[in-house]
Amino acid sequence: MTEFFYDLIGQLSELKDTYIYLTILIVAYLENVFPPIPGDLLVIFAGYLISTGVISFPEALFFSTVGSFLGFIHLYGIGRWLGDSIMSDKKLMFLPKERIRDVNKQFLRFGYWLIIFNRFLAGTRAVISLFAGIGNLYFWKTSAAALFSALAWNALLLFLGKVLGNSWRDLLGYLQSYSIIVTSLLALLAIILLIRWYLKKKNLQKNI
C-alpha cells in the first residue's frame, strides 16, 4: 500500500493543481473509511508542494479537511445504523443491551473530547467515528468536533511538510513512532478498563 502511494506521490507533482487538490480530498476521505490507507503521507507531501509553490496552503488545507470530515461522517452514519440494528434486531438478543446502554452513556460524557482529539489518536480514527455513531452522539456537536480535529491535524502536517521542504520524508519516521506509541498506550488503557470491568462484574456476582 505504501509503495503505491510513493508511486502516486511521484506522479502527483506533475499534475495540474486542480487534480492535486482532488487527489488530496479523495485520499483524505478514503483514509478514514479504510484505515490502512496512509493518508497522512499524502498530506505531508502536499506540504512539500506548498513549499515549492505548486499548490497553496489554504486550498490544500480546505480539501484535506473536507475529505477527512466526510470520511468521518460516513463511518458515523454507519455507526448510527449499526446502533439502531443492535438495539432492535431480535437476532442480536444475546448481546448485553444494558451494557451497551452503559457504554453509550459514557460515550456521551467523553465522546466529544475523543472526537476532538480523533485525528491525533493514530490507529483509532475509524473506531472513534464508528462508535460515535453507535453511541448516538448529537450530529451537529459531532460534526463540529470532527471538523476541528481534521482542521488542526491537517494544518499541522501541511505546516511541517512545508517547513521541512525536501526533507519531508524525515517526518514519516517520527510520525510512525508517534503512531506506535499512541496505539500502544490506547491498547494498554483498553486492557486496564476491560480488567476493571471484569473484576467489577465478578464482585457483583459474588454479592448476589
The percent of residues in the chain predicted with pLDDT above 70, rounded, is 66
Answer yes or no: is 200 within a domain.
Answer: no
Answer yes or no: is 177 within a domain.
Answer: no
Residue 54: give the domain boundaries. 2-169
Q: What pLDDT score was predicted for residue 107?
A: 65
Answer yes or no: is 204 within a domain.
Answer: no
Q: Which residues contact 62 (CB under 8 A, 6 or more apart)?
A: none
Answer yes or no: is 159 within a domain.
Answer: yes
Answer yes or no: is 199 within a domain.
Answer: no
**In this model, does residue 187 exceed pLDDT 90?**
no
107 versus 34: the higher-pLDDT residue is: 34
136 backbone dihedrals φ, ψ, rounded to 5° = 55, 40
44 backbone dihedrals φ, ψ, rounded to 5° = -60, -45
Q: What is the pLDDT of residues 112-166, one digit of tens each?
A: 888 888 888 766 777 888 888 888 888 999 999 999 999 999 999 999 989 888 8
Answer yes or no: is 203 within a domain.
Answer: no
Helix (H) or strand (E) holding 204: helix 170-207
Q: Round to whole Å and give the CA distance between 120 and 139.
A: 21
133 versus 107: the higher-pLDDT residue is: 133
Answer yes or no: is 179 within a domain.
Answer: no
Is there a contact between 143 and 73 (Cβ–Cβ < 8 Å)? yes
| Alpha-carbon distances of 188 from 126, 185, 197, rounded to whole Å | 18, 5, 14
Q: Round to whole Å and give the CA distance between 83 and 76.
A: 10
**In this model, does residue 97 exceed pLDDT 90?**
no
Instruction: State the total domains in the chain.
Output: 1
Q: What pLDDT score was predicted for residue 94?
A: 44
Is there a contact between 46 and 55 (Cβ–Cβ < 8 Å)? yes
The percent of residues in the chain predicted with pLDDT above 90, rounded, is 26
Q: Round to whole Å and give the CA distance between 106 and 12.
A: 43
Q: What pLDDT score was predicted for residue 207?
A: 60
- The three cell numbers locating residue 105: 452513556
Answer yes or no: is 54 within a domain.
Answer: yes
84 versus 110: the higher-pLDDT residue is: 110
Is there a contact between 79 and 191 (Cβ–Cβ < 8 Å)? no
197 — pLDDT class (breaks 50, 70, 90): low
Q: What pLDDT score was predicted for residue 91?
A: 46
DSSP reduced 3-state for 54: coil
Q: Round to whole Å and give the CA distance between 5 and 99.
A: 41
